Amino acid sequence: MRHRYSILLFPLHVFFDLLSLNAAFVGAYWIKFRTLDAVAEPPYAMLWAVFNLVWLADILLLKPYTFPRQLFKAYHLIQKLMLLTAIHVAIVSVFWVIVKGYYYSREHLLITYFLFLIFGSLFRIGGLIFLREYRARGYNNRRYVIVGYGKLATMINRFYEAHPEMGFHFFGYFDQPNEDNQHLLRGNYDQLREYVRQNRIDCVYCCLPYIDNSRLKSIVDDAEDIDFQVKLLVDFRGFLAKGASVEYHDFLPVLNLSSQMLADFRVNIFKRTFDIVFSLSVLVFGSPVFLLMALVTRVTSRGPVLYAQERIGREGKPFTIYKFRSMYINSEKSVPLLSKGQYDSRITPWGHFMRQTRLDELPQFYNVLIGDMSVVGPRPERQYFIDQIVEIAPEYRNLLRVKPGITSIGQIKFGYAANVEEMVQRLRYDLLYPERRSFLLDMWIIAQTVRVMVQGRGK
């Protein structure tokens, strides 16, 4: 009989869960009352019966014991146990309120669920270890073949070879023979149906794009007659790393391969909301500091308080960035120049202090408020330097997919760049941000920036 023992898994699972539940109920009663004399008498006899009936109802409605072998892991099993237990607690609580069962001991119920989670988890972990060892020895196995020979086909085969505990046994490749694959094939497409029937194959993996739609439809039709599973293998690894989603046009599924992390509505809305609240708070509550900074800047050197410069923002759009002026006026007479840090004679003494503490960046919160920038994001550059950077590191264009920011990973780890080569070095840090951005990462970057400001380590 095909998989004659697999049919026992469900009733055994139900039996051991009910055994664990009843053992927990009785054990908790003994721990609480130090006797078992009245556990099967009213009022606890009714509660005991409700415990069992509710658990059986959970099983019938939720069907919790159906796991594909690839997900048959301790984490998934215990997670499902905790979910079922939470539902059980909720239903029993409703029963308690309905019957006004205030005479039931809350401590007894708490101990019961605690013991049940322990017993249920031990049973699942023990059963998982047993099944893995049982399947690794060749029992309770599933037979599979792969249609369409190629790199994807060999990868799924190697996966199951590396995980014998899943119990999948390989029975060959099927494809149209050619000079490269004919010595590796079990047969061609026309021989597949008969081979599956004779060898009682459980699963046929079809690798796209090595197999065409007409052949795939024929295999699916055969699956209904011969009783085997059909699974499609499509190599989306390079796309899914950037994010993908499924859209449905009526009944037709469409895979959207555009980057979801950057286009995700919730992420962008949440980040923009944070930017507005944070920048507005800094501008309002920090206004005394702004006035003091402006006064000192004006007194210590001739020229305007603020310095405005064109930078390149998201999608290559130019905008005007604002900073407290840290250099003497007319410092760039011919071509744009980068700061040489503490050795740059163009920077005023007060400007050196502002750069070390990053206080010269404070007016950029206005850029954040109006939407040109974000609090956290790669530093915006001038087009003159972007053209030079792209010649050395074309991947810089990836940074233009997100809004530039006041602070970034590159600003924390590297700081100001004195030349194009250093800008490229800083780029290596900033390239981490577009693919990993999150609220927690933004909070970490802001916290690190505050630390740099307090320690005066900006350069």
The answer on 200 and 286 residing in a single domain is no
Answer whether 124's CB lies under 8 Å from 78's CB: yes
The answer on 368 and 329 residing in a single domain is yes
CA distance linking residue 79 with residue 129, whole number of Å: 17
Q: Establish if 341 belongs to a structural domain.
A: yes
| The domain boundary residue, chosen from 136, 161, 179 | 136
Q: Establish if 258 belongs to a structural domain.
A: no
The answer on 115 and 171 residing in a single domain is no
Q: Establish if 241 belongs to a structural domain.
A: no
Q: Establish if 222 belongs to a structural domain.
A: yes
Q: Establish if 246 belongs to a structural domain.
A: no
State the CATH number of the domain containing residue 175: 3.40.50.720
Number of domains into which the chain is organized = 3
Residues 6+ apart with CB under 8 A from 67: 76, 77
Q: Return the structure tokens found at 4.
A: 């004659």
- Listed residue (293, 288, 329) closest to 308, CA to CA: 329
Answer whether 341's CB lies under 8 Å from 350's CB: no
The answer on 167 and 93 residing in a single domain is no
Q: Establish if 62 belongs to a structural domain.
A: yes
Residue 351: which H helix or E strand, with range? helix 349-357
Domain that includes residue 121, residue range? 6-136
The answer on 207 and 131 residing in a single domain is no
The answer on 442 and 295 residing in a single domain is yes
**Would you call 231 helix, strand, or coil by DSSP?**
strand
Residue 279: which H helix or E strand, with range? helix 265-285
Ordered mean pLDDT values, 10 residues apiece, the chain (459 residues): 59 90 95 92 92 90 70 78 91 89 90 95 89 80 89 86 86 87 85 92 87 86 88 68 57 60 60 89 90 91 88 90 86 57 74 85 92 90 86 83 87 78 82 78 86 70
Chain centroid offset of residue 54 CA: 35
| The domain boundary residue, chosen from 111, 136, 161 | 136
The answer on 443 and 338 residing in a single domain is yes
The answer on 317 and 387 residing in a single domain is yes
| The domain boundary residue, chosen from 94, 119, 136 | 136
Distances from the Cα of 302 to the Cα of 142, 214, 326, 327, angstroms: 82, 79, 11, 10
Q: Return the structure tokens found at 9.
A: 């898994």
Q: Return the structure tokens found at 58.
A: 């959970």
Q: Establish if 98 belongs to a structural domain.
A: yes
CA distance linking residue 374 with residue 352, whole number of Å: 25
The answer on 152 and 129 residing in a single domain is no
Which pTM value belongs to this model? 0.47
Predicted pLDDT at 6 = 59
The answer on 156 and 27 residing in a single domain is no
The answer on 225 and 84 residing in a single domain is no
Predicted pLDDT at 34 = 93
Residue appearing with tokens 């693919």: 435
Predicted pLDDT at 454 = 77
The answer on 231 and 124 residing in a single domain is no
Q: Establish if 252 belongs to a structural domain.
A: no
Residues 6+ apart with CB under 8 A from 414: 422, 425, 426, 429
With b for 16 or more beta-carbon neighbours within 10 A and e for fewer, the 340-368 pattern comes to ebeebeebbebbebbbbbbbbbbbbbbbb
Predicted pLDDT at 114 = 96
CA distance linking residue 128 with residue 107, whole number of Å: 31
